[in-house]
Amino acid sequence: MSTEPRDLELDAFLRDLEELEDAPELVGLGLTTLSEALEPVAPSADSRARLMAAVPAHGRYERFAAKVAQLLDLSVERARALLDKLDDASQFSMEMPGIALCWVEGGPRVANAVRGFVRVAAGTHFPEHAHLGEEQVLVIQGSYSDPGRGRVFVPGDVDVMAPGTAHDYVVPEGGPDLVMLSVTQVGLRIGEQVYSPR
């Protein structure tokens, strides 16, 4: 069996690292490992400025801004502002165990729709619900499986359900919570509860 040159370099590096871990110079300093000998160093002002310039101006959900703007009939700037608030738990109200909602405003095209971000805890079964009008859902974080349709939806997917349809779904255990934008024309019914446009 031949050894790749890169593997030889890695082996040599690991041997050197092991030798450093046991270096008598560290013991003489009262340190037992190399990691104890390495103290954090503050970056120079120039390095920090370059790093901060490279950080995106918007949050981790920036890639969904255009789609959220389209679904909510808003400007991209307004969509970004909504997405930037999704990690703030105070923006959501608990509607059912494991299910929280953040109602949002929309433009004229979605004036007659229930609009909001939904956060569903991992391992939660979202109950069967009926769509009174067309529903469009954009998955932003996590995933859900729709057993009735045999499909799994992941970030970036848009799930469209026709008026009069009903379904339930499950957010897998062990993964991240599901965060999605739901825009349902006319409203939806969960059990006896009807959610109408606000």
Do 36 and 117 reside in the same domain of the chain? no
Q: pLDDT at position 24, please?
A: 57
Amino acid residing at 1: M
Q: Answer whether residue 160 shows pLDDT above 90.
A: yes
Q: pLDDT at position 26, please?
A: 55
Do 18 and 74 reside in the same domain of the chain? no
In Å, the largest CA–CA distance within the chain is 76
Do 10 and 94 reside in the same domain of the chain? no
Q: pLDDT at position 22, please?
A: 56
Q: pLDDT at position 30, please?
A: 58
Range from 31-35, 131-135, 190-194 carrying the lowest mean pLDDT:
31-35
Q: In what order do the strands lie in the sheet with 135-141?
A: 93-96, 99-103, 113-120, 178-185, 135-141, 158-161
What residues contact 110, with CB distance under 8 A and at least 6 apart? 71, 72, 73, 183, 185
Using alpha carbons, select from 134, 138, 125 the residue that is nearest to residue 69: 138
Rounded Cα distance between 152 and 169, Å, is 9
> Six-digit token pair at 161?
């359900």
Domain containing 114 equals 62-195
Do 114 and 21 reside in the same domain of the chain? no
Tens digit of pLDDT for each residue in 82-110? 999 999 999 999 999 999 999 999 999 99
Do 132 and 78 reside in the same domain of the chain? yes
Rounded Cα distance between 142 and 105, Å, is 24
Residue 135 DSSP label: E
Q: pLDDT at position 48, please?
A: 67
Q: Answer whether residue 114 shows pLDDT above 70.
A: yes
Q: How confident is the model at residue 112 (pLDDT cuts 50, 70, 90)?
A: very high
Do 159 and 84 reside in the same domain of the chain? yes
Tens digit of pLDDT for each residue in 46-55? 776 676 666 5
